[in-house]
A and B are shown apart, each in its own frame.
Chain A
Amino acid sequence: MAKLRVGVVSPEREIWSGEADMVIAKTVDGEIGIMPQHAPVLGVLVEGGVLRVKRGGGEDDLVAAVHGGFISVADNEVSVLAEAAELGSEVDVAAARDALARAQASVEANQDDADAAVEAKRAKARLQAAGEDV
């Protein structure tokens, strides 16, 4: 079976690139799974989503926290353009927990605090990407 060529890039660096069997991302409409021969798609990703790349061949899945951006699929090529992204293995769990606690506290204090809500989502995504329970 053909493989997907996947690139995960953020404005400041290329996060990861390689081949994979399947890519699962979260768009504003819901989760989307991309397998080889998928029709061309351009989707908007949610803030604080988790991206999962199934590499196959016995390798572990690649998990990344992706904040905003796009996924574009064409010709068995998947590019994930994230405004900010972090591989699960790079996440500083303690810092993310800390950020989550802080953001949740300010959301509780002020329900309209949109920034803090986004911050909480991001922290959650980072923890999920790192394989932690949230």
Chain B
Amino acid sequence: MGAQLRLLRRRIKSVKSTAKITRAQELIASSRIARAQQRMQAAVPYEREITRAVTGVVSNTGAVDHPLTVVKEKPARAGVLIVTSDSGFCGGYNANILREAEALRGLLEERGLTVVPFVTGRKGVAWHSFRQREMGGQWVGFSRKPAYADAKEIANTLIDAFKDDNGIDEIHIVSTEFVSMLTQNVAVKRVLPLEVEESEAQASETIPPYFEFEPTAGDVLDSLLPRYVESRIFSALLQAAASEEASRRRAMKSATDNANELIRVFTMQMNQARQAEITQEISEIVGGANALADSAAGKE
């Protein structure tokens, strides 16, 4: 009995310290979500403007004929950019992304394409190298706080691979979209060849029919489209960072709740065990006293 009590006390102590850690992680993640959301907000104006500029060029020049927008007739290789996190403790965040990436891989392979993964985030890189899958590129160390330079580096690698004749014919991105604090969805998008969305209704409102280019439409497009790709990747990274913190907060919250529940159960068991011990002691004393009394009565 005494042994069980000691055991329970020890477990309660260890669960309590785990709860402290997960609680702290939860609080850290909460404060980081706010910051990640601010960064997302801050990036919105640039994204909006660059989308507008691209739409402007497209509606001015008509059919866009640019290496980055050409859909190849017989695609042979597809690149998939998988955005995962650097650190764990974030529940199913990475598992969901990798599952979606695998599904996409299956789809692409059905179409007869060879899939080349490009991975950001330590977790995704580890996942791929454990399975000895060759990666077209890997980037780590910025999943929580992506800078524009990171997005640029990724975009450059992807664009170079895309432009190369024997390179990659289409590029998809698998990342998590931040919808709200509670909802984040894994989304698959095609980045290259670029689909320039030409929404007619919007175009007539915001884009004047006539645009001058400095120096020429082709040159503008040459430097505009890569920036557009960069900006889309940057926005995916920012959303992924916010989603990562949100799922970390959720995972840590449920871990803390579980720990508290465990503490409650163990405390109850411990009290029961203690009570049982006392009851047994009392009944032993009473039994002993009775036996003594009986033997004394027998002598008389």
Contacts and interface: CB of A to CB of B under 8 A. Distances in A.
Nearest to B39: A12
B219 A41 contact: no
A83 B156 CA distance: 14
A84 B234 CA distance: 14
Contact of B214 (A11, A42, A79, A83): A42
Contacts of A40: 56, 208, 210-212
Contacts of B234: 11
B42 interface: yes
A44 interface: yes
B148 A7 contact: no
A115 B45 CA distance: 29
Q: Is the interface of A mostly helix, strand, loop or mixed?
A: strand
A7 B207 CA distance: 17
Given A39-B210, A42-B211, A75-B208, A14 B220 contact: no
Size class of the contact patch on chain B: 20 to 34
B148 A11 contact: yes
Size class of the contact patch on chain A: 20 to 34
Interface string A84-123: 1000000000000000000000000000000000000000
Nearest to B212: A41
A9 B219 contact: no
A7 B45 contact: yes
Given A12-B147, A69-B227, A81-B53, A41 B213 contact: yes
Contacts of A44: 214-215, 219-220, 223-224
19 contacts: A9-B45, A9-B49, A11-B46, A11-B148, A11-B151, A12-B39, A12-B148, A14-B45, A14-B46, A27-B214, A29-B214, A39-B212, A41-B211, A42-B56, A70-B227, A72-B52, A74-B56, A75-B208, A79-B49
Q: Which 10 A-B pairs have the closest CB atoms?
A: A43-B214, A11-B148, A13-B42, A9-B46, A9-B45, A41-B212, A79-B49, A40-B211, A14-B45, A11-B46
